[in-house]
Structure 1
Amino acid sequence: MNKKYPDEFKQEAVRQVIEKGHSVPDVAKRLGISDKSLYYWVSKAKVPASQSAEQEEIRKLKVELKRVTEERNILKGGRRVLCKRVKEKYTFIKSRLNVYRVNTMCRVLNVHRSGFYAWLKEPQSKAEKANLRLLKQIQASYVQSGGVYGSPRITHELRRLGETCGENRVAKLMKQAKLKANIGYKRRYFKSSTPHIAADNHLQQQFVVCEPDTAWVSDITYIKTYEGWLYLAVVLDLFSRKVIGWSMQQTMTSDIVIKALLMAVWRRPKAKDVIVHSDQGSQYASGDYLDFLAAHNLIPSMSRRGHCLDNAVAESFFHSLKTERVKRKVYATRREAKADLFDYIEVFYNRTRLHSHLGHVSPDEYENTYSQAS
């Protein structure tokens, strides 16, 4: 059994050896201690006091350096949980039990060690277990409704099943699980006694034509830039799906659709009695636009109100334009957007892009093949 001797006893035993010249075995035998212990005391006493103090200071500095380094490493990996809830800190500590000491981690993260050990025995509280059970029922009700039930209806459904939960609790759990009622878009409808129709629908969704300049379709879309909106109006020939007219302006007036149609007339000077189909937008219903059509022997045609499929070819072109080009860019100015849209329409779409409706050839190639065969 190891005995702990007081410092004064050790000092006097060492003096018997160093100052009085007695041998270590002799002194050890007389004092009833082991030779090994006395040899150690003597060797330690022979070290200069200044050197011993210096070694002690180095030892303390090493211990302090080790502590600071450990705390720094803990903070480096746990910075994101410093402002989190206590249970998230406990989870962090648990994941690093094999790396750092629990005492140090608890001190750095400002949590109680006893609380951590209590959490280890039971990580989930009764309230959390109840919420988890309730969430499973909420998810089942949500799926069963096809995703259209919000918190009010799901609350009523759960109460019918015997649950005593409140709507706020259900709404909170749904938000955490990212469950949201799919109710579609909210639209405002305006009633008018007699809808104004500037032209009849002569196209009737007959998008396949056998000859060029039989039917054209026109529409307007908008492009976002940091300077503001840029509006684009186009005219497509249904025969080849080629863009034969276009105009880009920063305002959406009747002038933009007239300029797009003017380019189409300039490109197709021999076109007569062509059906020009559009929606019932104010630009297409304006007197200037209808007068332009009449002056060039063009037949106006307009979609039925609320039937976007009546102008599906133009809508399809805009979808391709935005998917393949616009959504991949961020335009700083309208000038930059115009240059890029020009490149897409005139360089890529009309001359290069393979169109599935045309048998995977470009609109220009499709028209050239038709001209050679005629």
Structure 2
Amino acid sequence: MYSFRQLEYQVILELSEYFPVILLCRVTGIPRSSFYNWKRSIFEPSKRARDFAGNIMLFMEYHKKYPSHGYRWLNAKIRLDTGIVHSDPYAYKCCRAAGIKSRTKHYRYKKPGNPYRLFPNLLLAGLPAYAPMQYIASDMTAFCFKGTYYELTLYMDLWNNEIVSHALSSRRGDRMTYINGLEGLIKTREKETEWQTILHSDQGAVYASKKYNDILRLHHIGHSMSRAGTPTDNAAMEAINGWLKSELFTDFHVTGKESIEREIEEYIKFFNEERPAYALGYMTPKQYREAYSGNGNSKRKK
């Protein structure tokens, strides 16, 4: 949007074909030097102005691909992909100039529910995660695609927010998504045996079932549960469920040209290896894990 002064400059420029600039400036009360400086900035922009315009286009390109994210995440993604480093205030300036805003739903806080029924909420103790596979969060999220209902069960390592296992089913209430995902988690866990693993979930019927907990005990995995009706007790998993559905259909534009299973696989690969995370200092989960291994901590003992 032009300011009033810029509009005056524009009028003088258009009328300069018919009247002398000195006369137009005298009538409008604008110094000729100011008009010519403005004209030079339009037709001969400085390097700084050209760079700013180029960066605006870059942010617009990334926003078109990832519309569910704001300027900080876009800035981190550009830095990850291209190596171009901008400060967050500069990124905000570029996004504001381009009219870029994230398309993300915001959820209201809910009051905590009743205490645990079967297992204590071990995450409320606030114990930090020092290494991979210490604390795993799990949840099921559902979505519809082309008239088909799907249930996706995820297992995420709270140490670096990496999705370590998942299972998908088109059958409503399919208990095997939980079991299959758990089996994938156990296979991954076999590579990280020096820490006691705690699995955190809600109080869903499958998580509370005897068969599910027998598998956990067999593999020496502890169980932690959120309070009833308190999704904020498993906030990290709830956030991931929200981001996943938002990014799948807003950013990735799932088309169905490939099987939905394949597209979920591709998204989870992107999530683990290419998606910068604010909680990790805008590193990807894979980068965070590799940095940990590179520091010689992969063999850390209890």
Give the TM interval when normalised to the shorter protein.
Answer: 0.5 to 0.7
Query: What is the match of residue 371 of structure 1?
Result: 293
State whether residues 226 and 234 of structure 2, in contact with CA within 8 Å, keep that contact through their aligned partners in structure 1: yes
Aligned to 1:182: none
State the distance in 2 between where 1:330 and 1:210 align: 36
Distance 1:275 1:368 in 2: 22
Runs of at least 4 residues off by over 2 Å = 205-208, 251-254, 270-273, 326-333
Change (3 A) 1:244 1:225: same
Q: What is the Cα deviation at residue 331 of structure 1?
A: 5.2
1:262, distance to aligned residue in structure 2 (A): 1.1
CA displacement at 1:206 relative to structure 2: 3.3
Q: Note the C-alpha offset of 1:337.
A: 2.1
Kept in 1: contact 2:168–2:177 (CA 8 A):
yes
Structure 2 residue 117 is matched with structure 1 residue 197: yes
CA contact (8 A) 1:207 1:313 kept: no
- Residue equivalent to 1:350: 272
Pair 1:337 & 2:257 matched: no
Residue 213 (structure 2) aligned to one of 290, 293, 302: 290
Selected match of 2:240 from 296, 309, 317 = 317
Corresponding residue of 1:261? 182
Partner secondary structure for residue 277 of structure 1: strand
Q: Which runs of 5+ in 1 are unaligned?
A: 1-184, 186-193
Distance 1:284 1:353, change over 3 A: same
Does residue 244 of structure 1 match 2:167? no
TM-score, length basis structure 1: 0.45
The verdict on how the C-alpha distance between 1:205 and 1:323 changes in structure 2, with shifts beyond 3 A counting, is farther
What residue in structure 2 maps to residue 73 of structure 1?
none
Write out aligned runs for 1:101-112 (5 A). none
Does the residue aligned with 1:224 lie in a helix, a strand or coil?
strand
> Residue 177 of structure 2: SS of its match in structure 1?
helix
User: Which residue pairs with 1:211 in the alignment?
Assistant: 131
Opposite residue 226 of structure 1, the aligned amino acid is K
Whose Rg is larger?
Answer: 1
Letter in 1 for 2:226: S
Corresponding residue for residue 145 of structure 2: 225
- Please, which runs of 5 or more residues in structure 2 have no aligned partner? 1-107, 109-113, 298-302
User: Is the CA contact (8 Å cut-off) linking 1:201 and 1:302 kept in structure 2?
Assistant: yes
Q: How does the TM-score come out when normalised to structure 2?
A: 0.55
Would you say the 8 A contact 1:243–1:350 is kept in 2? Answer: yes
For residue 93 of structure 2, what is the aligned residue in structure 1?
A: none
Task: Spell out, residue by residue over 1:32-56, the C-alpha distance to the aligned partner (whole angstroms, 9 max, x if none).
Answer: xxxxxxxxxxxxxxxxxxxxxxxxx
CA contact under 8 A between 1:209 and 1:215: conserved in structure 2?
A: yes
Deviation by residue 1:158-207 (Cα, 9 ceiling, x = unmatched): xxxxxxxxxxxxxxxxxxxxxxxxxxx9xxxxxxxx99823221111738
Deviation at 1:326, TM superposition (A): 2.6
- 1:283 is displaced (CA, Å) by 1.5
CA distance 1:367–1:332, shift in 2 (3 Å): closer
Structure 1 residues 286 and 222: CA distance shift in structure 2, 3 A: same
Distance 1:195 1:321, change over 3 A: closer
Shift of 1:286: 1.2
Q: Which has the higher contact order (CA 8 A, sep 6+)?
A: 2
Residue 240 of structure 1 aligns to a residue in which SS? Answer: coil
When you count helix as a share of all residues, which structure comes out higher?
1
